[in-house]
Structure 1
Amino acid sequence: MIILGIETSCDETAAAVLSFDKAQDKQKRIIILSNVVASSAKLQAKYGGVIPEQAAREQLKTIIPVIEEALNQAFPKKRLPRAAFGRPRNDEIGIDAIAVTFGPGLIGSLLVGVETAKTLARIWDKPLIPVNHLLGHFYANWIVPSSFRVISEESSFSSWKIASSSFDKLRTPRNDNFEVPSFPCLGLLVSGGHTDLVLFSNHGKYKYLGGTRDDACGECFDKCARLLGLPYPGGPYLSKLAEKGDSSKFNLPIPMRGSKDLDFSYSGLKTAVANIIQKSKIKNQNEKADLAAAIEETIIISLIEKVILAIKKYKVEQIMVAGGVAANQKLVRDLRLKIKDLRIKLHVPPPYLCTDNGAMIAAAGFFTKPISNPLSLQADPNLSLL
């Protein structure tokens, strides 16, 4: 089975084509045939963040070229003509279904992806699969990591950059050592908008264990980076600066330490960092690096402590981490070290699958039922895991 995945929940426009052979691969591993992302990072950096209306307008310009590129990379011998976006012959489209993010996210951005997917499902006569963006992040752990060639070029659409991952189906290794998560499995979602713990008992069956009461951990990274005067998006810049610092130089409060629940909170940490900076305790670049290291260390400790608490409470042997902050290598290293003696299997996607992409949406589509009437699908900006 082959699925086209479409993702437009925030400021990225992404499409990917994935293949999944249930009959031949009992491990249920999913292979990427193409993965294309159009990013407006430079545009957002200019204004210090995402401007929803601006993001949606740019996505309207890029959505069809991105989908076209994803299909042409997946099926190079077909080289889908632009006319195929009318009513093509059935053999012109090599996919079996379309999966699309329908929430949560920015309503304008979601509408671009949802309405495009509905239209293509109608004219191509393909099943349409609605995917929760948050669950999509977790399903990046079912995708076989592959060696690929990244092409980055300035597109003709304003200041957007298109990064496409080209895969050769004949040369892409199947990576037989790769294992997908097994159930029951604890899921940790860490991103700019969410910090959640979820217990999965099977595909489509999960229990929400806890989440942030205010800021998400990724949001805390970005806001603290801004307080330190770092560029947008701040998280990666803060982590890079933290490599040069000594976290022991600052004593920051560990959020929710000692609480018996599985919730998170990061507004207090942000306030503590703001107070340090406002009191002019940062005198030079070395001290800025030390504070960055302390911020990163504090966030990671808070995440790991809650994960360990959940492991002991629910007796799980598998953990999967997902979301943009999962690309933080210190988080992965520290978590792996902490669970080593507990004999827990850790699953983390490669960094290029941690941030928003169409591949994770297509992957989730393999385990989600299509909607009976594609035209009835509505974008839901407030969709959650509850």
Structure 2
Amino acid sequence: MDAKRAFRCLGIETSCDETGVAVYELGRGLLAQALHSQAAVHARYGGVVPELASRDHVRRLPALVRQALAEAGLSPSGLDGVAYTAGPGLIGALLVGAAFGRALAWSLGVPAVAVHHLEGHLLAPLLEPDPPAFPFVALLVSGGHTQLLAVAGVGRYRLLGESRDDAAGEAFDKTAKLLGLGYPGGPALAALADRGRPGRFRFPRPMTDRPGLDFSFSGLKTHALYTLREAGGDEQTRADIACAFQEAVVETLVIKCRRALRATGFRRLVVAGGVGANRALREALDALARAEGVRVHYPRPAFCTDNGAMIALAGCLRLAAGEAAGLEVEARPRWPVEALAPPGG
């Protein structure tokens, strides 16, 4: 690499049902990104079909890489490293991005690095103009994970609490399906909840009546099912149930965030993951921040869901510190984020 040139990294994200590619440069920021959502592919099945997800990544990835490089004004030889999501996620989908990324890096003679998908989400707010300083409490809330972490720096993560069953986003999707909504269910349920009447139904706030920072959301969808059976399924009742469900999830998350902030003494809260784009959650967490005298940081909605930009950033930080993967292709469907070490460690 030319010592006078900044470090540029290509990031590849294929952990589930979005194919994301981005180019990030240290000191300059995000140069380009390209994203393809598979929502239309999976909508007819009401959820992600792993084999279809893998095949679509194979089809889309080469063109998205070319698109991102063209947007950045680069040829492949202008890259100094390649980062790919190695896990957690769907094993077939991960292998597509990992094999492509590792092969591209080898062909260019540049290092590759296997990035943890959740580290990408945790660092996504660093892509914003006013990034959070370390340390902070992170609420990682998505379709596959609901966790609270103490983040002391890049690669320095301590798990404070997590869901014992369904993640919050998973509960949103399953409850949306009960209410007859399409895929993806989370945004559809949130839109229906906006038409609901607060107070008609009250759902429990799981695991808030005891100490600790763990979550449990599977019972809420069962509560929604029984409420729907008893109250009927007309449009207004469905909206009222969606409203009560969303209120329960949001208040539960807020209660646990408050506990985590007080337990750690940290003055910053970062919200990451797809559910972090939920408007009701953001409003409630903004109110929490005002009441507690802390700052709350969110990525822009496009960086809440899976994307290549967060992988390019996380990979760039690790590659620039001298970290690099071997020639093997790494893919880990299960991979605890707290097992990570700081870059180069």
Answer whether TM exceeds 0.5 for this pair.
yes
Query: In structure 2, what is the Cα distance between the partners aligned to 1:107 and 1:314?
Result: 35
Q: Is 2:304 the partner of 1:354?
A: yes
Is 1:297 aligned to residue 303 of structure 2?
no
Give the aligned partner of residue 328 of structure 1. 278
Alignment counterpart, residue 10 of structure 1, candidates 2, 16, 25: 16
Q: Of Structure 1 and Structure 2, which has the larger fraction of its residues in helix?
A: 2
Q: 1:136 is matched with which residue?
A: 120
1:367 is paired with a residue whose SS is helix
* 2: CA distance, partners of 1:41 / 1:283: 26
Contact 1:137–1:323 at 8 Å: present in 2 too? yes
Q: How many angstroms apart in 1 are the aligned matches of 2:235 and 2:325? A: 58
CA contact (8 A) 1:130 1:371 kept: no
**Unaligned 5+ runs, structure 2:** 1-6, 339-345
8 Å contact kept, 2:21–2:33: yes
Instruction: Quote the offset at 1:182 in angstroms.
Output: 1.2
Q: Distance in 1 between matches of 2:154 and 2:34?
A: 26
Corresponding residue for 2:4? none
Residue of structure 2 in register with 1:223 after alignment:
174
Conserved 8 A contact 2:11-2:308: yes
Q: Distance in 2 between matches of 1:113 and 1:283?
A: 43
Name the aligned partner's letter for residue 41 of structure 2: L
1:163-211 CA-partner distances (Å, limit 9, x unpaired): xxxxxxxxxxxxxxx3211121100000000000000111111211110
Q: Which residue of 2 aligns with 1:319?
A: 269
1:185-334 matches, within 5 Å, as 185-279=136-230, 281-334=231-284
AA aligned to 2:326 is P
Match of 1:382 in 2: 334
Distance 1:268 1:131 in 2: 33
Verify the 8 A CA contact 2:19 2:61 in the aligned structure 1. Answer: yes
How far the C-alpha of 1:93 sits from its partner, in A, is 2.2
One-letter amino acid of the structure 2 residue matched with residue 274 of structure 1 = L
8 A Cα contact 1:204 1:367, kept in partner? no
Letter in structure 1 aligned against 2:151: F
Contact 1:118 / 1:374 at 8 angstroms: preserved in 2? Answer: no
Checking the alignment, whether the CA contact within 8 Å between 1:14 and 1:358 is kept in structure 2 is yes
Distance in 2 separating the partners of 1:102 and 1:214: 23
> 2: distance between equivalents of 1:244 and 1:44?
26
The number of equivalent residue pairs is: 330
**Does the Cα contact within 8 Å between 2:148 and 2:213 map onto a contact in 1?**
yes
State the identity %.
41
In the TM superposition, residue 341 of structure 1 has moved relative to its aligned partner by 2.6
Aligned mate of 2:84, from 88, 100, 105: 100
Q: CA deviation at 1:372?
A: 4.2
Structure 2 Cα separation of the partners of residues 304 and 377 of structure 1: 39
Q: Separation in 1 of the partners of 2:188 and 2:324?
A: 45
Q: How many Å apart are 1:101 and its aligned residue?
A: 0.5
Contact between 1:242 and 1:296, CA under 8 Å: does it hold in 2?
Answer: yes
Task: Render the CA deviation track for 1:49-82: whole Å, top value 9, x for unaligned.
Answer: 111011111211111111111111111xx5x4xx
Question: Deviation of residue 128 (structure 1)?
Answer: 0.9
Do the aligned partners of residues 344 and 221 (structure 1) sit closer, same or farther apart at CA in structure 2, a change above 3 Å counting? same
CA RMSD of aligned residues (A): 1.4
Distance change >3 Å, CA 372–CA 284, structure 1 → 2: closer
d(CA) in 2 for partners of 1:326, 1:16:
21
Q: Give the AA of the match of 1:258.
A: D
Q: In structure 1, the residue corresponding to 2:210 is in which secondary structure?
A: coil
Match of 1:119, SS state, is helix
Match of 1:74? Answer: 72
Q: Distance in 1 between matches of 2:232 and 2:310?
A: 41
1:179 to 119, 130, 137: 130
Task: Output one character per residue of 1:267-287: Cα deviation in whole Å (capped at 9) or x when no partner.
Answer: 1111111111223x1342111
Partner of 2:31: 33
C-alpha distance in 2, partners of 1:134/1:60?
22
Name structure 1 gaps, 5 residues minimum.
Answer: 22-29, 81-91, 145-177
Distance 1:382 1:276 in 2: 35
**How far apart are the structure 2 equivalents of 1:69 and 1:332?**
33
Matched residue of 1:236: which SS? helix
Residue 56 of structure 1 is matched in structure 2 by 54
**8 Å contact from structure 1 (residues 6, 99) kept in 2:** yes
Q: Counterpart of 2:317 in 1: which secondary structure? A: coil
CA distance in 2, matches of 1:256, 1:225: 22
Task: Please identify, of 331-340 and 106-115, the stretch whose mean Cα deviation from structure 2 is larger.
Answer: 331-340
C-alpha contact 2:114 2:330 (8 A) present in aligned 1:
no
TM-score relative to the length of structure 1: 0.83
- 1:247/1:291 contact within 8 Å kept: no
Residue type matched to 1:235 in 2? Answer: G
Secondary structure (helix, strand or coil) at the match of 2:318 reads coil
